Structure 1
């Protein structure tokens, strides 16, 4: 949230500077306040939406600053939601026109900027287009926040976002005060809109991720459990290799689009990777039936910063996996095979529904056996074994520094983080995957 605080703060300061430069006005203070509230809410709305459109391009140069592409996606999502929220505020301020007319009258209104000829016609068009654009944006925002709305139709509707954004950008450029373009507020706004238009055009042309996307081939499909499918693929030509713990965007069905799946295998230079996919929706439930060896598949990546190479080897390691969140740790353990001396001291906690029937338990034991520094702890919910912060840290002294690497359900992550906070473990870092498609 500090990132958004900086963005909103910069926009607010630029707007505030422009207000200070305004000449004295004879208009009524309430009419002036309404106008500036419209400008500020509109500035925030188009600024955050521009940011959302740019982040949708998956800019690799920002992965380090954000801590991974999963967090860039999260920032993209919340920038869009916040931009839509400011759009609602902008619309409400616009609707306050009638309230002011009925309370203080028309006298003292702020004079409108006059524009003649083509510019005047374009400003009228921008006003009309902006109104419809805001209605469409609010409808899409409502559908996005309605978690029960099916993913596939949501994804189809979401494709309209670049067009809606371009309409609103046109509205903003034409209706922003002309004085803005000679002030910092206009420079900031122009930069954001240029970045947003760049993102919108790439989305419409379908070139996002093109440089890291290629055609691979499915080599094998297995189903180790009723709700798990293992897919082995030959990577595309030009694949740059991956670090243990990274993910790729995989398109098995063009109609369904790309989905992020963690790569469950280490990179051994044999041009193959493996995914372990849990049935969490209609698409993933159908994969065991739909996928066959020899099928073509689009693979884009790798992305992500949940990497074995980023752990701090100077502090105690606590690795926590919940359900299918075990996949990055499978890649980590796979990469450590044959290098026991290079393996860090770590406690790996795996949380599962039923430890007696989970196929990952046997695999984890086999991978940990030649790595004596990695201690495996399995917690089965049906066996009454639930993980909490005290259990994670039971082998660590109160003063010992450490870090937790977590991949699993959000609820478990929140429980562990709160538990660490309650225990006063301020020297305990917490690293977590944060990838959500909506």
Structure 2
């Protein structure tokens, strides 16, 4: 599935254009630039940009394929985070610049200000709370569902407060024809995207049926789903999806999981899930006949997007083997003649997921696969590699591949960072390293 340069550039151009529309309209048709104080003008400009950026945040978070497909959902969500931080910085600077540009410090310190300004201060306070909760969620002890509920309350509230504040206090909105109407239409459009993404689309997603739930390793389960129409789902090996199970055994919450099956496996789609949290510790209790709503696929973490002649190095830790298994199974089923080195780290031998299948693939001729298992807590009888995947092991297992291979890294955060450090030490550029980060999705 090849994405053209044109398709990857157009969303960026569209975002920049939409974010700058209010500023451009006011600059051309309004009084922006008419004040002598540059600092004051900058403060007004920041306000116009901030409101446009906030309106576009639900669009970035809405998982629209036209936006996510060229880049991967993880990159779009990270951009969503960075633009939220950018908006926060600009909205903090906005009143400071107005005060320094002629409005005086009483704008910041006085309690005797119009109600419209109080709404702006409230929006700023709530945006600070939202940014803090998002950036430091785990340190604050917020699980994902509680954070998302808080986010879903604060985000529209901030938008409404900012819209009302600017609608009544913004001189440009009063005197530039059509600006107030543009404000209302833009707010309604952004609200509509939010409502569609959070409430309407989830009800319209296809409901798959759980075909089987089988153990894949110690405390690891493969949940296999059958689509409602009996057709094989369309996805690329290595992608992920969002699942919302309807079962008596797990909460009806949406969670993302890698697709561990291959598109070559007819009329099913599967995820292999480790018991590791409040939700996943019950996954083994999901029963055949239960159902799940499926949203996806997402991501560009797949060998099919790489040059067919380039060798591949897969480096996995624990349950991070799942997208790599999907790719290897796809290579085997399609007869892809790829050279692949797999370095797979686990704690114990019982934690190795897909052990039998990986060993069988090594015995085949396509792909040309070498597997190195690395155990950090091996039993006495273990004769393979011990410890962790480090620079020396990568150099040993990837002899002759370091200068040309594309590296796919998937595993726990600490392990992935250590591997990235080793690859950098070995001179592998970031342009040949593939990694999907889900820090904002879990």
TM-score exceeds 0.5: yes
Which of residues 316, 341, 344 is equivalent to 1:350?
A: 344
Residue 218 of structure 1: how far off its partner (Å)? 1.0
How many matched pairs? 405
Change (3 A) 1:292 1:176: same
Q: Does 2:135 correspond to 1:145?
A: yes
Which of residues 240, 243, 248 is equivalent to 1:250?
A: 243
Which of residues 405, 419, 423 is equivalent to 1:420?
A: 423
Where 1:362 maps in the other structure, the secondary structure is helix
User: Equivalents in 2 of 1:94, 1:77: separation in Å?
Assistant: 26
Residue 275 of structure 1: how far off its partner (Å)? 1.0
Which of residues 205, 223, 229 is equivalent to 2:221?
A: 229
Residue of structure 2 in register with 1:410 after alignment: 413
Change (3 A) 1:283 1:87: farther
Which of residues 80, 85, 94 is equivalent to 1:76?
A: 80
Residue 197 of structure 1: how far off its partner (Å)? 4.1
User: Equivalents in 1 of 2:171, 2:373: separation in Å?
Assistant: 62
Q: Does 2:148 correspond to 1:155?
A: yes
User: Equivalents in 2 of 1:182, 1:284: separation in Å?
Assistant: 54
Q: Does 2:225 correspond to 1:214?
A: no
User: Equivalents in 2 of 1:281, 1:346: separation in Å?
Assistant: 32
Change (3 A) 1:173 1:309: farther
Could you tell me whether the CA contact under 8 Å between 1:152 and 1:256 is conserved in 2? no
Structure 1, unaligned runs of 5 or more: 107-123
Residue of structure 2 in register with 1:304 after alignment: 299
Could you tell me whether the CA contact under 8 Å between 1:166 and 1:197 is conserved in 2? no
Could you tell me whether the CA contact under 8 Å between 1:265 and 1:274 is conserved in 2? yes
TM-score normalised by structure 1 residue count: 0.77
Residue 158 of structure 1: how far off its partner (Å)? 1.8
- Kindly provide the CA deviation profile for residues 121-150 of structure 1, in whole angstroms up to 9, marking residues without a partner as x: xxx665444333333332222222332223
Where 2:34 maps in the other structure, the secondary structure is coil
Residue 57 of structure 1: how far off its partner (Å)? 1.2
Structure number with greater CO (CA < 8 Å, separation at least 6) is 1
RMSD: 4.1
TM-score normalised by structure 2 residue count: 0.76
Residue 72 of structure 1: how far off its partner (Å)? 1.7
Residue 280 of structure 1: how far off its partner (Å)? 2.8
Change (3 A) 1:428 1:346: farther
